[in-house]
Structure 1
């Protein structure tokens, strides 16, 4: 019986070799029918293998695949690992022809496990596996190019389909990022903004892997454009700022200039001319003249003209003056009359600012009111903390905690950058010169107040400990809030110098508790000086050190020396 089957098998193989796969299949089928009654899985595996080859010659991939799969099962039962390997390799070839490249590689991987010592076959299978990557990339590139042609012709939906096909085939992250970026562009053109945003976000993640900063920059800037179109300007600036960083690192000044201009426009649309001016001026400082946009100086002149005309409306002026007067009143009551009533007034200010900022439709006015909410909050927390049994030196870091917390919340909610709130070095020689003024200012205020020392002993340990507390708790915490945040927001309402004046009045009002008219005049003068320095340099580095050094000499040094 098996000899008869062998005869059919050999005749079939002869027909296959002679280029007659149909006749070969007839003989293989006869051999298979004879062997069905036997348990000769090895020979049946041989027949199914050759049937698979015959169907492959007829370009019938589906039937060929079924034959190879049956072949592999019979070889497995026969425990013929070499046969299994060849069957799996052929399965991989068919999957490769069907463009199922992942399945092909999986089959090749399984085949290699079966061939442990056959170096020649292993080398051949590895070569086939590598070829799948080449074929897959070629197919992906063809789909991608076809998508681009369709996109250029305005056939967006058809292009989207080919981008998806390319995306499914590309394995490198940069190419996948390109596909997702283009798909996002199509969805944006079709006004499907949510889908576009999702695709841009996925694109940015793909680009992030290989650190393709240019690709990330385009993805982030497109996200900004979507939010810009929706009039979500804070979100737009958030993504524009990130895109600018990527373009700067990639050295693409043209894209940087384009996105920087869009970011500046978002400030202007919201009436934040002060922020727009600072943004463009920073741009000029960042790059040499040859990389400046052609019209940036005209833009700056136009913004300066608009900024010179900036002033609050009568209603806004009344509201801001009212809050200043109520704040002064609350401090006077707290200091000279009744702490509980003062606490109540500060609570009233807090809720008033909250309500007014919620009702206002003016972006810049709302930002100013919200940043001012930190002032009564600090007072409420400060008056509520039981600090009587705590050494006076430790009051500063305790009170600074809500101060820093309020600043962080405002920075995050208004999506401010570290640069915009003055957390930059600035021109160091000038900043250090400003810092040195702290010694003279500390001496002047000491002669006015003559406070007791905050440290028990005048030695290096207490000086370092105390000055660290004071520089961070009064210098950095107060300058970040008053100059970096409140004054920055006030500049968009009052313009430059008037904002310095208004914030100085707010700052001075919180020093009423020292019960000295002369000290109030001194504090107001110093605040004007600090505000003017910030307005001109856009850095709080020097004034932070000056403020901290001034208070360090006031409370730690001069009480022992004078």
Structure 2
């Protein structure tokens, strides 16, 4: 973690040097994982998935050095990371539900009562109401709450970072495509990494909450390059909340959507709102000035 933090700080002054240090960290983790494969399988697997952290930063820092749009960058970065994630899952023989790729946990088992039936045949029919079925699908209040939670978080992060707006083109299809890219290539990708695969291995090596805290801290440290301490603290806090939701529901789908919405607000909605608000204020001032001039001429 210390070396990752050093690499992030180094990128502030020299992006290429920071990338080089992340590459060194990546190969050291792979080498150490190979050495531990026969001695401590849990440690070996944990080191293997930790490779994803420097890999994410190597790819994201490399994109500005080549001539791709930021939207294309999100897609291009996600492809090798998805490949790495599913390769780790295959090597470790993990099931999708092990990393949160499942519907939220059932809150309770539906009660069943025997109904009238011919003798010798054991038939049970659920007596659940529609409300019971809704509750049994998992934790709908938690899932809905964490998605709505993304709206204020996105606005807060925009106030911290104030990124330039991304070009969205014109037309509804373009906008829908952008939303899909943010949800899949940023939200789902990062949650599968930092709330799915890495915590699973960290918890096996440490206790549950120490593992979650360790991974959440890495997630916060990876935001050091944004040059905003508040953003690091916000990333840590949101990462911890998402981890708690993941533990409660057993699913990353809700938090993936929430993470995607945070980025949609950060890069699309909030910047455009600020621009349109400035345009409105300027046009309003021009109208007021013209109104004063017109009234002055009449007088």
Give the TM-score band, short-chain normalised. 0.7 to 0.9
Q: Among residues 302, 324, 338, which one is paired with 2:14 in the alignment?
A: 338
For 1:546 and 1:491, the matched residues in 2 are separated by 24
- How many Å separate the matches in 2 of 1:440 and 1:383? 27
Map Cα deviations across residues 20-58 of structure 1 (whole Å, 9 max, x no partner).
xxxxxxxxxxxxxxxxxxxxxxxxxxxxxxxxxxxxxxx
Distance, in Å, in 2 between the alignment partners of 1:416 and 1:518 is 36
Matched, 1:326 2:3: yes
Question: Unaligned 5+ residue runs, structure 1?
Answer: 1-323
State the superposition RMSD in angstroms.
Answer: 1.8
TM-score, scaled to structure 2: 0.75
Q: Which residue of 468, 492, 514 maps to 2:180?
A: 468
Structure-2 separation of matches of 1:435 and 1:459 = 25
SS in 2 for 1:365: helix
Query: Which position in structure 1 is the counterpart of 2:191?
Result: 479
Instruction: State the Cα distance separating 1:434 from its structure 2 match.
Output: 1.7
Aligned to 1:415: 93
Q: What is the match of residue 425 of structure 1?
A: 103
Q: Give the distance between the partners of 1:559 and 1:328, measured in 2 at CA.
A: 29
Task: Name the CA distance, whole Å, in 1 between partners of 2:63 and 2:226.
Answer: 19
**Would the aligned equivalents of 2:183 and 2:260 in 1 still touch at CA under 8 Å?**
yes
Deviation of residue 343 (structure 1)? Answer: 2.0
Native 8 Å contact 1:450 1:559 kept in 2: yes
- Distance in 2 of aligned mates of 1:384 and 1:394: 13
Q: Which residue of structure 2 aligns with residue 357 of structure 1?
A: 33
Deviation at 1:473, TM superposition (A): 0.7
Higher relative helix content: 1
Instruction: Provide closer, same or farther for how the CA distance between residues 421 and 456 of structure 1 changes in structure 2, counting only shifts above 3 A.
Output: closer
Which residue of the partner structure matches residue 454 of structure 1? 166
Q: 2: distance between equivalents of 1:381 and 1:341?
A: 14
Change (3 A) 1:421 1:555: same
CA drift at 1:359: 2.1
Whether 1:498 and 2:221 are equivalent positions in the alignment is: no
What is the CA-CA distance between 1:524 and the residue it aligns to? Answer: 0.9
Name the CA distance, whole Å, in 2 between partners of 1:459 and 1:516: 34
The aligned counterpart of 1:537 is: 249
TM-score in terms of structure 1 length: 0.41
CA contact (8 A) 1:475 1:546 kept: yes
User: Is the CA contact (8 Å cut-off) linking 1:455 and 1:466 kept in structure 2?
Assistant: no
User: Would you say the 8 A contact 2:157–2:266 is kept in 1?
Assistant: yes
1:510-549 equivalences under 5 Å are 510-549=222-261
Alpha-carbon spacing, 1:340–1:389, altered in 2? closer, same or farther (3 Å): closer
Query: Unaligned stretches of 5+ in structure 2?
Result: 105-137, 275-299
CA contact (8 A) 1:433 1:542 kept: no
CA contact (8 A) 1:327 1:509 kept: yes
> For residues 405-441 of structure 1, what are the alpha-carbon distances to aligned partners after superposition, in whole Å with 9 as ceiling and x for unaligned?
1111111010100010100120251323322211121
SS of the equivalent of 2:68 reads coil
Structure with more contact order per residue of length (Cα contacts < 8 Å, sep ≥ 6):
2
Higher Cα Rg, which structure: 1
Deviating more after overlay: 381-390 vs 531-540: 381-390
Shift of 1:382: 3.7
Query: What residue is the counterpart of 1:375 in the other structure?
Result: 53
Tell me, yes or no, if the aligned pair for 2:146 and 2:254 is still in contact at 8 Å.
Answer: yes
Cα offsets for 1:285-339 (capped at 9, x unmatched): xxxxxxxxxxxxxxxxxxxxxxxxxxxxxxxxxxxxxxx00001001101x2222
**Secondary structure of the corresponding residue to residue 352 of structure 1:** helix
Q: Secondary structure at the match of 1:486?
A: helix
2:98 match: secondary structure: coil
